[in-house]
Structure 1
């Protein structure tokens, strides 16, 4: 199957390991093996995919039981644009090898057991979506300032209240971030937000009225949340009426 370029195996019950037959598909551009009950080490998977280092652009291994740390051989997959490894059992820290993927536009490592701080991701100038939520990460690298194309950012990192981001986001999800106790000042300058998730962020006090759509859970003790949400509802209804007229 050397001519095969796109392979989707979503939702099968393979179990066990990862087949070595993938090592014979050298021209594959996209591979999805999510929701497949895989019990295997990521390092072994990447070994089997080593023949695709120049061709593979999309790799989705979400929602399996894939373990081990992120291997350094990831740096060899220079064509990768999307890497989805969320909801697995990955551990260890994020290696610097991840920062050596110049075409990477989406990186999802959510809901694993990854620890430590983020390494220098400065070379990832094409990155648009980054999801590191529900891990055990402890710091925000200054190299985050180097992503002018970043449109969606999700994490559980501790973020300084006086941080000034260099980008304007449409979607911000900061669930379980340590943002409190005050509403973060840097969010006030985000003018393009239409979805803002600050659930379980430990915030106290008032919500600035300028935020248009906010998803909040009871773990935030924000005064005026009801008024802010009602205002967002009125704004949406008003926009709908304008469109209808």
Structure 2
């Protein structure tokens, strides 16, 4: 065995220090790549149209590397901006979309829950804006008015698009007809109108979540939305869609988990022995022409936890199956129907249960300690 002398100890220590120094240099170089000048200019152009009452963009200064600016994330390798995350920042004014889409490597743009009122587009920059890497765009919960700029529809790599809870209006034909890779689309709570293009379902077979609720859409949806075989969430209530909905519409929707058809004028025609290809956890059918018979297919939904069929003209139910269904759910809303059943000797254990404004009779039921809220008012 070779003796460990003071000289060898010194050499060993020097060797360790060399490794540590070189390692720290490599680490520093990987995180100190300066922000790309072009990206910095694009961000400053965007800032020019923003009203920043609370100085949340105070760090956005040429005296500071833009990769260290509030809400900006860059690649450690290239220094190019990949994420802009300014949600809940109390920003107002306009969104200069042309400048933001000059960020060639931007994948994630989140400006939700601000006070923006407009989206501006510089037509002179169109030529350089077609090929972007943007995959996630969230402009929800703002106050944006007007129609959707065509520039958004031209973002062919979009996987998630959320424009909900704004004041947008007009047709979405140009937007939806150009999308090819969407997995999540939320246009709810706006003033959109017109038809849903048929090619939308052909181009977006991978779509998992679609929310068009609370708009002014018209026409039939049978030949379009029923073909979105990957859908897990479908919300199309509170519109002016027309037509009949039967089991045919759902034949390809085997992955469906959430369904919202509330506040609609659809005519429901389901075969009494139909068993759906899906198991829902959430079902919203309030203010529809569902009754008078409670649809037998709903009894087959063993995973149902949230169910709303209030004001749906229901008067006739299968008593045993009905109470079994109610008991398995956590939230049930069956107000404003005409259901006539005895409540005596029942034990109600649903967490939140509204059975008010019906024709229930008998003594008050037993109520489980697991029940948080129950409304039995306006019955008999």
Q: Which runs of 5+ in 2 are unaligned?
A: 1-102, 352-366, 372-380
Number of residue-to-residue matches in the alignment:
233
Q: Distance in 1 between matches of 2:284 and 2:115?
A: 31
Q: Which runs of 5+ in 1 are unaligned?
A: 239-245
Equivalences for 1:22-33 in 2 at 5 Å? 24=129, 26-33=132-139
More strand by share: 2
Deviations 1:217-240 (A, max 9, x none): 5322223496778243567839xx
Deviations 1:121-150 (A, max 9, x none): 354111110000111222326332111111
Q: Pick the aligned partner of 2:249 from 122, 143, 147.
A: 143
Q: Distance in 1 between matches of 2:253 and 2:116?
A: 38
Equivalences for 1:5-20 in 2 at 5 Å? 5-16=107-118, 18-20=119-121
**Is the counterpart of residue 41 in structure 1 residue 165 in structure 2?**
no
Q: Which has the higher contact order (CA 8 A, sep 6+)?
A: 1
Give the aligned CA root-mean-square deviation in angstroms.
2.7
* Alignment-derived partner of residue 204 in structure 1: 315
| Cα pair distance change 1:77/1:190, threshold 3 Å | same
Q: Which moved more, 1:114-123 or 1:197-206?
A: 114-123
Contact map agreement 1:10 1:33 (CA 8 A) in 2: yes
Contact map agreement 2:347 2:368 (CA 8 A) in 1: no
Decide which structure has the larger Cα Rg and report it. Answer: 2
Q: Distance in 2 between matches of 1:188 and 1:159?
A: 16
Give SS of 1:10's match. coil
Contact map agreement 2:332 2:350 (CA 8 A) in 1: no
* Alignment-derived partner of residue 106 in structure 2: 4
TM-score under structure 2 normalisation?
Answer: 0.56
* Alignment-derived partner of residue 128 in structure 1: 232
Q: Pick the aligned partner of 1:59 from 150, 156, 161.
A: 161
**Is the counterpart of residue 230 in structure 1 residue 348 in structure 2?**
yes
Q: Distance in 2 between matches of 1:132 and 1:11?
A: 23
Give SS of 2:140's match. coil
